[in-house]
Structure 1
């Protein structure tokens, strides 16, 4: 079975345009088989964006960008140009197309986690692929710390039933400050910050 977090998609490509609704506006996006939440803006991602959008400034990394909704919306809503990375090459091509389609600015590139990332950021936004397991996810939490500027923050969204309490505990081990930015329908948005 193919997952959206595999490098090469094996499912037949059938790109199509959808409308994503955010903050009272409709945005066009091209999606395809083999990418995360191909039919709509994922609810958890939307909760994360609404909880964090107004605080974003400076440099932003969209870790696991998929077809690009976070990076595109951050650029269009906040005027910030995101770096957008993913392991899935089909998702990366879609993210590039969606930047153009929405006349948004950003840089899209391949990275397996942080493998190809050299920069440091004010904010890293991350909707972790929980099915990959805690070991990988917690490793990314730790690596994110090394890619934050002084005072920077990792912002994640996670469901309570998918391990929010243990994820929060791990973040508290790794970061100076962890707070809940929002919670809605079982989804929690956590901000882990360097002080």
Structure 2
């Protein structure tokens, strides 16, 4: 099976345009076979964005881990153009789409391939955002949480969206073990938005 968190460039292309209206702005995204939520912007992403951008607590250096074709990082950048936004994904097709979608929506982000943080150089991010690849398994998801701690500056935050039935409660426990804190900042239709702060 060809998962969206692998190198699946050999898959046949089936590009499609997704129109997504958020906060009075209509965004245009190109998706394709082999990327997460290829037919529409998933509900978890909508809840995540709404929660993140209403709080206005994010700092100036943001990393989107597992960016897919780019909606989270691109919309954050569009909302706060002065913030630096970096986006990474292990899937080369997703990264190419994220770059194309950034251009389509007239935002300047840095999108590149990375297996979690392997090709990430910064260690001073104010915020790390992730809609983690649940199908990749707990070992991958927990690695995203664990290594986020060392990539964040003091006072920085890890933000996660995860469904209750896909392990939200165990994610809270794991993040608490790593950070010493984990707040459930929002719940909507089974989706939990989690925030942990590095003190």
| TM-score range normalised by the length of the shorter chain | over 0.9
Do structure 1's residue 114 and structure 2's residue 90 form an aligned pair? no
Q: How far apart in 2 are the matches of 1:76 and 1:35?
A: 22
| TM-score normalised by structure 2 residue count | 0.94
User: Structure 1: which 5+ residue stretches go unaligned?
Assistant: none
The count of aligned residue pairs is: 195
| TM-score normalised by structure 1 residue count | 0.96
CA contact (8 A) 1:99 1:105 kept: yes
Q: How far apart in 2 are the matches of 1:2 and 1:48?
A: 26
CA contact (8 A) 1:2 1:9 kept: no
Q: How far apart in 2 are the matches of 1:9 and 1:144?
A: 27
Do structure 1's residue 148 and structure 2's residue 161 form an aligned pair? no
Q: How far apart in 2 are the matches of 1:154 and 1:187?
A: 16
CA contact (8 A) 1:71 1:81 kept: no
* Matching residue within 140, 156, 161 for 1:157: 161
Deviations 1:139-191 (A, max 9, x none): 22100101001100110011111111111001000003211110000000000
CA contact (8 A) 2:2 2:8 kept: no
* Root mean square deviation, CA, Å: 1.1
Deviations 1:77-97 (A, max 9, x none): 122231010010011110110
Do structure 1's residue 5 and structure 2's residue 9 form an aligned pair? no
User: Structure 2: which 5+ residue stretches go unaligned?
Assistant: none
SS at match of 2:77: helix
Q: Which residue of 1 aligns with 2:135?
A: 131
Q: How far apart in 2 are the matches of 1:51 and 1:140?
A: 20
Matches within 5 A, 1:34-183: 34-53=34-53, 54-79=56-81, 80-119=83-122, 120-183=124-187
Q: Which residue of 2 aligns with 1:15?
A: 15
Shift of 1:9: 3.0
Q: Which residue of 1 aligns with 2:26?
A: 26
